[in-house]
Structure 1
Amino acid sequence: MTAAREAAGGDPRATLDPATRERDVRPIVARPRPGLSAGAITLTAIAAAALLFGLLEERRRAAVVPAVAPSGAAEVVAAPPPLMIPPAPPTPAPSRAVAPSAPEPHPMSAPVAPAVSTHARTPAGATGPSVGTPAPAPAKTPSTPAAPPRVAPGQALIVDTSAPLDVDHGTDAAADEKNGAGRQPVLSTSRARAAMLANRATTVAQGTLIPAVLETGFDSTSPGFARALVQRDVRGFDGTRVLIPRGSRLIGDYGSDTQRGQNRAVILWSRLIRPDGVTIAIGSPAADPVGRGGVRADVNTHFLERFSGAILQSVLDLGVTMAGRGSRSPVIVALPGAGSRVAATVPATGSDIVPTLRVPPGRSVGVFVARDLDFTESEAAR
């Protein structure tokens, strides 16, 4: 049956009798012709890939490697021509001396008066140029510059023979008030001599820290005065006497020259008044309770005032860009200076604003004594 079906082209109805074949509703289907096997297809693909790879590799080498040999005999460079040696220059012929010709006779003419020369006449017997001929200028001999003095390499030793500076420690209160706050320390190289501190019992030595409390507030917006009360008794150098009693009053002043980044208030105490009426020009700067310069203050940096102009400029630039862009464009590009015409009316005062320092009343402060305070006369009068 199978052989008969294959002979009929693969039609399963070929094995049926003619009567049954006509009543069969199944379609006539021919079997597919056998094609190439999978191995043949794989080998063909590999061969095609190898051929393509070889062609591409050959093109790459031809494009990368330059030609190193001429393509034809016509392109062969000929040998360079031999060098040409120039001939020797001809020897000049010796010149012959020409004999002078005889002078031609000239007709005699009437004598003419000799012209008077404006030049000075040369005295007889003197050697020099003829009359009327200016003397040639003497040749100038170039002067040889003097050799520079010999300097030994390295730095020369300089010996200072000046007298040592006389440092005056008894300056007045006005000079201390002017230079006490914010001055830079100066290192003196003069000779220092030891001395005995006079009136040790009635002297408050330099460097003493006087604790106090602020009675008035501090605001760096404008300059003003400050006042404080001494918290504890301050004794003399030897500790036997109370020279600055508790409750003494300190008077000072402050300025308004605040700088960026500053967070400590600078107060200069100029006068101290004791409860018994004794007063002294103290001339010392304010410090905190541990001796650091300045008083800790509350800082207002004025952030909005300083950067409001920049924020407004950015908003105007963005607004001008959005107003000028297309309705369908999703991209917004803010170019600098687009709103400069509108923002030109905004005053640029951000760079001129400095921080404001404020110190409330009642804050603990200190006074760093900048010079010796002598109470000898006031103690003797008591």
Structure 2
Amino acid sequence: MKNKDDEKNNDAGNRGIIEVKGKAAPKKILILIILLIAALFVIIILFKVLSREQVVQQTPLEKSDETLVTNTNNGVSLTTMMKNIEEKEKLDAANRRKAQEEQEQKQADNAPSAPASQKADQTAVNVIANGTPQTASGDPNQPQPLPKSVRQLMGDTMVKIDNQEPDEKNQERDDLQGSQYADGKVSPVLNRRYLLSAGTALSCVLKTKIVTSYPGITMCQLTRDVWSDNGEVLLARKGALLIGEQNKVMTQGVARVFVNWTTLKDENVNVRIGALGTDSLGASGLPAWVDNHFGQRFGGALLLSLLGDGLDILKNSTQQTGSNSNITYENTSDATKEMAKTTLDNTINIPPTAYINQGTVLSVIVPRNIDFSSVYELQ
């Protein structure tokens, strides 16, 4: 009875617990085997896929390697190619020479012997036709210059040898030889009695002041009588008027004024002389006092530069004192510098002005022969 009571108590205590009875171990082994087979199958598939990708990737690499090998082989065979080209050129030249010799032999058999000059001409024609220069000895077995195609492959260049001396030495020789002039002509001087010869110096005193700011007319009065070439006839009396013009602008560094004297007027006689003015010693140009306008050219720029420097000093002193002021002078300083630059650009090219006062003694040199026989006659 006691055992039955215990079993009942155990049944009452084990209520809610499901007991499964069967073969558990064989099922676990079966599941493990299935998993292993599946894993092996997956590994095989992955291996095949990876092997295919490797083949696909290696194929272009192998082709590129073949290309590289081909390029390398081409590079190695460059010398061979040049040799082949050179041999081909030599073979073609030999064939041309052989054909030319056969043709010459046929012509020699059919025609009488030609003179030596014609043979030389024929040799020159052969050289041009064959394209291969011959040496001085005429031996074709001697080494010949390489063709152009071979030189291009080898990277060689033909250097032109100039046996002439440099141009500087030739120029020096030309300078040592001196200048060459055309032959002069001799002609008789007719009627010297009324001739104002070239090279005659006319002394005069300036009547008008010259200021070169603008072009103007100038006048000068003769201080001496002007006589003919033989000294017999008075051509222009003292006090005759020379009229000229000044129309050249002065440039920096030039201290002389260019005046062109055009006309000599003596009462009712006008002479077209077209002479140049000189100083009393015959130097070209008229000496003058020159105003370079230094203040006008640089004064404004210097003033603006000093103003800019003052603003810079004020700015630096304000910053050094540690003032809390927010006043800035950058714009004013920059504007001042720009104004100074603009002012200098506008005034730097002011031309100088030359002054020649009236009463200055000048000379006028006559550049050509002038015949007065058409207006003067001795009685």
Higher helix proportion: 2
